[in-house]
Each structure stands twice: as C-alpha cells, then as structure tokens.
C-alpha cells in the first residue's frame, strides 16, 4: 500500500514537472514570436492602408467628366502680317517699278465657324472668313524716281474645317473658295481697273485655339491665298497668279 502511494506521488510530480516545462516553453516561444507577429500586423496594416489610398485616388479619376466637345460655334479675331510678293510682272501690271512694291504689311482677319458633327477624331465645321491687309512703302529721302505706294488686299470666303481635339483646345485645317480684290496704287497715279477687280481666290491653311478660360482662347492661323491672274488693262499685263501668305494671331470666343 505504501509503495502504491509513493508511486502515485512520483507520477504526480513527474506530470507536474512536465506541465511546468511545457508552459515555460510555450511562454518562451510566445515571447520570441511576438515581435514577428507585431511586424506581420504592421505590414498587413500598411498593405490595407495602401489599398485604401489607391481606391481613394481611383474614385475621383473614375468620377471625372469627359472633356467638352468642340463648339458649338467660335468667333475669331486676329491681327495679321501679310507678306506681299515682290514680282516684276505684278509691278508691270500697275505701271510700276519693282522697288515701288510695298512688301510686308499689317491687317485684320475675322471668322465665324459652326461645328456640325463629329466622326471618329474629326469634328466637321463650316463658316466664313473676312480678311483685310494693307502695306505702305515710302522711299528713303534722296531716292530718285521711286514713288511711294500703297498695297491693299481684301478677301471674303466660306470655309470648311476639319478639327482635332476637345472643347478646351483644338487644332484645325481649313479651306474655302471666295473672291478678293488686290490694289497697288503708287502715289500720284489713278487706280487701274485691276485695283478693284474681283478675282477668284482659294484659301487654305490651319491653326489652333487654346481656351485658358471657358469662353476665351488664344488662337493663331497660318493661311495661303491662291489668287487667280488679273485681267490686262491699258496695254499692261494682268497681275500674275500669286500665292499670298498671311499669318495671324489673336483671340477666339465660343
């Protein structure tokens, strides 16, 4: 009986020692793993925060409205610089010397365009343009046999345009067929009939408009005017077929 009691006590002590040892090992393992667990929790929280930030940035992007369409209309007003040609036949058509032709001048250009529809990346528009330019040449003091002269060009024409971009800014190419008058009158000479003759003129070119404000833009235009030959008068040759370059810049309103 005494032996059985001793055996039971020994078994109890062994079990208690084993339990204490196991608890100590578990506690030590928890102490060692706690930094790793904390580090994992920090990384997991950082990942969640990153995902939330991406979602916060993505929501406004999806919420943005598409850019406005081109149009529905625009009005252009430009100051221009015409480059009048120095052509011998042109001078002879007005009984002038080549040195009397004025050359580069100044002018204005105004246009109105309406935009009809869009097909793929192209917005189609129709409208019209009026251009007026003037140059004056005054000979230097002491120059002999060279008269002062005034050169004027006026044009009016419908236009078809092809536009690329959005309502905040777009580029375009355009062209049209109209009429123009081109007068070159030296000082002291009566104007020739060719100075008021209307001749067919094809204009073509391109430019762009940038709307810094909702309805107001800076714009520019580079345009060529292909002018038909003029009619001969008084035994002088008619003005030649000429291409006139006019560069303009100014404002546009829509």
Tens of pLDDT, residue by residue over 28-69, are 544 454 554 454 454 555 565 555 444 445 444 444 678 899
Tens of pLDDT, residue by residue over 106-115, are 999 999 999 9
The listed CATH number (2.40.160.20, 3.40.50.1970, 3.30.1330.180, 2.40.30.20) that belongs to domain 73-253: 2.40.160.20
Q: Cβ atoms within 10 A of the Cβ of 67, count?
A: 11
Give per-residue burial for 137-170: e unless 16+ CB within 10 Å, then b: beeeeeeeebbebbbbbbbbbebebbbebebebb
Specify which residues 169 forms β-bridges with. Answer: 166, 210
Please tell me the predicted confidence (pLDDT) of residue 66. 85
Residue pair 243/222 in contact by the 8 Å Cβ criterion = no
CA–CA distance, 101 with 184 (Å, rounded to integer): 8
Give per-residue burial for 3-28: e unless 16+ CB within 10 Å, then b: eeeeeeeeeeeeeeeeeeeeeeeeee
| Residue ranges per structural domain of the chain | 1-64, 73-253
**Model confidence at 253: pLDDT above 90:** yes
pLDDT bracket for residue 240 (50, 70, 90): very high
Please tell me the predicted confidence (pLDDT) of residue 143. 86
Could you tell me the CA-to-CA distances from 170 to 43, 88, 126, 206 in Å, in that order?
A: 48, 40, 15, 11
CA–CA distance, 244 with 57 (Å, rounded to integer): 53
The percent of residues above 70 in pLDDT, for the chain, comes to 75
Tens of pLDDT, residue by residue over 126-167, are 999 999 999 999 998 888 889 999 999 999 999 999 999 999
At residue 141, the 3 state secondary structure works out as: coil
pLDDT: is 173 or 45 the higher one?
173
Burial of 29 (0-12, 13-18, 19+ CB in 10 A): exposed
Structure tokens at 130: 């009026």
Please tell me the predicted confidence (pLDDT) of residue 131. 98
**Model confidence at 184: pLDDT above 50:** yes
Please tell me the predicted confidence (pLDDT) of residue 217. 97
Please tell me the predicted confidence (pLDDT) of residue 134. 98
CA angle, corner 123, sides to 117 and 124, nearest 5?
Answer: 70
CA–CA distance, 106 with 82 (Å, rounded to integer): 6
Please tell me the predicted confidence (pLDDT) of residue 15. 47
Please tell me the predicted confidence (pLDDT) of residue 67. 86
Summary mean pLDDT of the chain: 84
The string of DSSP codes covering 48-87 is HHHHHHHHHHHHHHHHPPPPPPS-SEEEEEEEEEEE----
Please tell me the predicted confidence (pLDDT) of residue 40. 47
Please tell me the predicted confidence (pLDDT) of residue 130. 98
Please tell me the predicted confidence (pLDDT) of residue 112. 98
């Amino acid at each position: 009986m005494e032996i059985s009691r001793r055996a039971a006590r020994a078994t109890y002590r062994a079990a208690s020692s084993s339990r204490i040892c196991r608890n100590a090992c578990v506690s030590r393992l928890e102490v060692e793993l706690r930094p790793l667990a904390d580090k994992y929790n920090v990384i997991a929280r950082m990942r969640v925060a990153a995902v939330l930030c991406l979602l916060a940035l993505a929501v406004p992007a999806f919420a943005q409205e598409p850019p406005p369409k081109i149009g529905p209309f625009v009005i252009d007003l430009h100051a221009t610089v015409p480059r009048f040609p120095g052509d011998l036949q042109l001078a002879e058509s007005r009984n002038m010397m080549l040195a009397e032709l004025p050359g580069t001048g100044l002018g204005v250009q105004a246009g109105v365009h309406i935009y009809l529809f869009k097909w793929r990346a192209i917005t189609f528009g129709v409208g019209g343009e009026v251009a007026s330019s003037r140059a004056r040449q005054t000979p230097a003091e002491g120059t002999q046999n060279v008269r002062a002269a005034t050169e004027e060009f006026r044009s009016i024409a419908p236009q078809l345009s092809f536009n690329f971009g959005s309502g905040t800014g777009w580029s375009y190419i355009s062209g049209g067929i109209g009429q123009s008058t081109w007068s070159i009158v030296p000082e002291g000479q009566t104007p020739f009939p060719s100075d008021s003759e209307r001749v067919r003129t094809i204009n073509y070119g391109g430019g762009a408009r940038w709307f810094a404000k909702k309805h107001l833009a800076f714009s520019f235009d580079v345009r060529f005017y292909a002018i038909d030959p003029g009619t001969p008068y008084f035994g002088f040759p008619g003005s030649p077929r000429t291409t006139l370059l006019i560069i303009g810049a100014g404002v546009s309103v829509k």
